[in-house]
Structure 1
């Protein structure tokens, strides 16, 4: 997506005051962000006009029920870009959402400063690392790190820092097909140690956990 192209969002949150605040922050964005639909049910993301939104902003805790991990998984499986926006600030919840394929995890206390940036990054399929998520990843070093080759690490890190796989191929002097091959190998290796990473955001999380990159590199 172009850096100047308008972005559309469906907002899933059951607090009217929070919905009003989100819409005001989006309206003040330098890049056009339109809320196509908003409401307290995930159904808003599946029906028109919300089904056409570029980004789903999902409150993880709707009503008195359990965290909406199942709804998050269904949206990700359908190819939606989901930003989880939650009152919960514990490490386990944030990492679970990334494992399920969320584009990023944002706490509501970070919203005013980071919500617009996180939404635009999700629309552009770029990683976004707000402070609370960066802290959770930094504190969650893993011992089950797969053995990546130096070339696999190079391709992975270059992809994190590039806008497209085409640009990665150009910078490394390889083809896009070769870039995809290396990234597929990395995903297979992570899956084989029980740490699947289906999305770019998930791979960023794995790389941070394993010390392949620092938050400042992103």
Structure 2
């Protein structure tokens, strides 16, 4: 059974979601709150949290995500009105997924199940929002450079990355050097192996598109 919690000001939405989930065999909402503080003050078992992007108490969305992630929760952000700056910042703060409130409950359930498997699923809307990121500190990588960065940043060896992508190890090294140069030019240098993985997480790379197989 996948147990989830929800933080949202809309009590009707919370009650309706909890009722709808009772029709599913594997997902239950066990905790509901209208703020992060209220949620953290409760006895809770769920480790997956649905978090409204813009709560009516005007708390900072980035701080909300960071607080929950630091406390050991996996956060799925839901939103009515997408704010690009907050979407990018909360993704970097550790949000595992984004679901617009215009999406169907079936889509939400698919995201919850993927997150429970340890994935970071990418909805069509989230992919679009991430693609709109034109901040100067985000380097423009080619699709192949991004593939190499993601694979290497997730801990694969150079030889393993080459086998995965069907390219020679020397070509993998060339792509990694180009990635390193581009991040340095953007003011975010990569100084050691672990920072490849940090850049993958910071920039929201390596997320599976819903309905698409890994890779």
> Given the two structures, how large is their TM-score scaled by the length of structure 1?
0.65
Unaligned ranges ≥5, structure 1:
1-5, 174-184
Say how many residue pairs are matched.
Answer: 187
After superposition, the C-alpha distances for 1:42-86 in whole angstroms (9 at most, x for unaligned) are: 134424432x21201111222241443212111112221011112
Q: What is the CA-CA distance between 1:8 and the residue it aligns to? A: 0.8
1:170-198: CA deviation from partner (whole Å, max 9, x where unpaired): x949xxxxxxxxxxx9xxx6797179897
- Equivalence for 1:69: 62
- Aligned pair partner of 1:193 in 181, 188, 194: 188
Question: Which one of the candidate residues 30, 35, 38 is aligned to 1:36?
Answer: 30
Describe the SS at the equivalent of 1:109: coil
Equivalent-residue separation in structure 1 for 2:200 and 2:24 (angstroms): 23
| Aligned pairs (5 A) from 1:69-218 | 69-140=62-133, 144-145=138-139, 153-154=147-148, 156-157=150-151, 172=160, 193=188, 202=201, 205-206=204-205, 218=214
Q: Is the 8 A contact 2:8 2:34 kept in 1?
A: yes
Alpha-carbon RMSD across the aligned residues, in angstroms, is 4.2
User: Which structure 1 residue ranges, 4+ long, deviate > 6 Å from structure 2?
Assistant: 189-192, 194-201
1:110 aligns to what SS in structure 2? coil
Q: Identify the residue that residue 48 of structure 2 maps to in structure 1.
A: 55
Distance 1:147 1:66, change over 3 A: same
Q: After TM superposition, give the deviation of residue 128 of structure 1 in Å.
A: 0.9
**TM-score, normalised to structure 2's length?**
0.66
| Superposed CA offset, 1:5-32 (max 9, x none) | x1111111121111123213422335x1
- Which of 25, 40, 43 is residue 46 of structure 1 equivalent to? 40
Does the Cα contact within 8 Å between 1:54 and 1:81 map onto a contact in 2?
A: yes
Structure with higher Rg: it is: 2
Distance in 1, matches of 2:145 and 2:58, equals: 45
* Residue in structure 2 matched with residue 3 of structure 1 by the alignment: none
Task: Measure, in 2, the Cα distance between the counterparts of 1:74 and 1:89.
Answer: 21
Gaps of 5+ in 2: 162-175
